[in-house]
């Protein structure tokens, strides 16, 4: 995997770790926010890919700076690395839905400091940054959150926006081509089945689209696939809004 810095303003920096080498497990991204020499991980990833994630991350920041981890939901590709990170840094404070705390402890590390997020969301403080934990319930998990950084205009969107891309994919949906509609159309083919099958609720989807359309977003960062930037952010929200989800019932 590779680590790429995609936002930098003074002591406020965002990194993406992406393009997994192991293809038997679903390709996943890990995001890291460093503010004033403290680091927060977003969806730190699966047990199996921990060595890849760790080695890519140490290229760009010292692991001793990792103080917090945000876990959007309970899935193994999101959080099964918890005991390994905790062994490296018992100082990490973990944040996940209060509904998932007791389940996530099944991954191990009973002594880890896991804070439960209430259903309505919360604020998460990181150095001088004030991040917003945004409810995204049922997308796809029953208790699910996204993380918004108003300074960098980054929305970490968990499984929303996910695309299953071939090995060697880019970090961005498309930048070379000025975020053209055709680049988006080519990308979104890799996202369509995932959203139709994994997202269970049109009502939850509608609520999310309304909530997120009000945010100022430069980077929409999913846990699988590539980052949506510029015009592609609105294109994605409009595409998702129009999609009929929960298809396995049909
Ligand atoms: Fe998931
Ligand atoms: Fe996922």
Per-residue pLDDT tens over the stretch 20-30: 988 899 999 99
The alpha carbons of the chain give a radius of gyration, in whole angstroms, of 17
Mean pLDDT of 83-104: 97
Assign residue 65 the CATH number of its domain. 3.60.15.10
**Distance between Cα 210 and ligand 2 center (Å):** 22
**Distance between Cα 10 and ligand 1 center (Å):** 33
pLDDT, tens only, 53-63: 999 999 999 99
Mean pLDDT of 92-121: 97
pLDDT of residue 174: 81
Are 15 and 6 spatial neighbours (Cβ–Cβ below 8 Å)?
A: yes
- Please state, in angstroms and rounded to a whole number, the distance separating the CA atoms of residues 126 and 21: 31
**Distance between Cα 73 and ligand 1 center (Å):** 7
pLDDT of residue 175: 65
pLDDT of residue 181: 75
**Distance between Cα 246 and ligand 1 center (Å):** 15
Ligand number nearest CA of 75 is 1
pLDDT of residue 248: 86
**Distance between Cα 189 and ligand 2 center (Å):** 17
**Distance between Cα 144 and ligand 1 center (Å):** 9
DSSP class of 24: S
Range of the domain at 179: 2-249
Ligand number nearest CA of 26 is 2
- Please state, in angstroms and rounded to a whole number, the distance separating the CA atoms of residues 224 and 234: 18
Domains: count for the chain: 1
pLDDT of residue 176: 55
pLDDT, tens only, 135-185: 999 999 999 999 999 999 999 999 999 999 999 999 999 865 556 778 899
Ligand number nearest CA of 77 is 2
**Distance between Cα 140 and ligand 1 center (Å):** 6
Q: Is the pLDDT of residue 19 over 70?
A: yes
pLDDT of residue 250: 65
**Distance between Cα 83 and ligand 1 center (Å):** 19
Q: Is the pLDDT of residue 123 over 60?
A: yes
Q: Is the pLDDT of residue 195 over 70?
A: yes
Helices (H), the chain: 50-58, 76-79, 82-88, 101-104, 181-188, 192-198, 202-213, 231-242
DSSP class of 227: B
Ion ligand 1: residues, CB within 5 A, are: 75, 159
pLDDT, tens only, 222-247: 999 999 999 999 999 999 999 999 98
**Distance between Cα 159 and ligand 1 center (Å):** 6
**Distance between Cα 196 and ligand 1 center (Å):** 13
**Distance between Cα 154 and ligand 2 center (Å):** 18
Mean pLDDT of 75-94: 97
């Amino acid at each position: 995997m590779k680590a790429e810095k995609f936002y930098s303003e003074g002591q406020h920096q965002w990194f993406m770790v992406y393009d997994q080498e192991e293809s038997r497990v679903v390709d996943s991204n890990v995001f890291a926010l460093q503010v004033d020499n403290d680091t927060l991980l977003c969806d730190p990833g699966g047990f199996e890919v921990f060595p890849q994630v760790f080695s890519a991350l140490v290229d760009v920041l010292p692991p001793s700076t990792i103080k917090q981890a945000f876990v959007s939901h309970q899935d193994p590709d999101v959080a099964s690395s918890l005991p390994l990170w905790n062994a490296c840094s018992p100082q990490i404070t973990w944040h996940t839905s209060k509904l998932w705390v007791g389940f996530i402890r099944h991954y191990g590390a009973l002594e880890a400091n896991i804070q439960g997020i209430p259903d309505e969301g919360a604020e998460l403080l990181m150095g001088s940054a004030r991040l917003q934990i945004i409810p995204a319930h049922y997308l796809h998990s029953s208790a699910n959150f996204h993380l918004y950084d108003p300074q960098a205009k980054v929305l970490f969107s968990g499984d929303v926006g996910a695309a299953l891309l071939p090995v060697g994919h880019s970090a961005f949906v498309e930048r070379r081509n000025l975020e053209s509609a055709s680049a988006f159309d080519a990308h979104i083919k890799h996202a369509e089945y995932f959203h139709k099958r994994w997202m269970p609720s049109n009502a939850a989807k509608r609520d999310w689209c309304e909530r997120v359309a009000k945010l100022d977003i430069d980077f929409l960062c999913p846990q699988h696939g590539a980052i949506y930037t510029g015009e592609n952010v609105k294109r994605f929200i409009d595409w998702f809004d129009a999609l009929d989800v929960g298809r396995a019932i049909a």
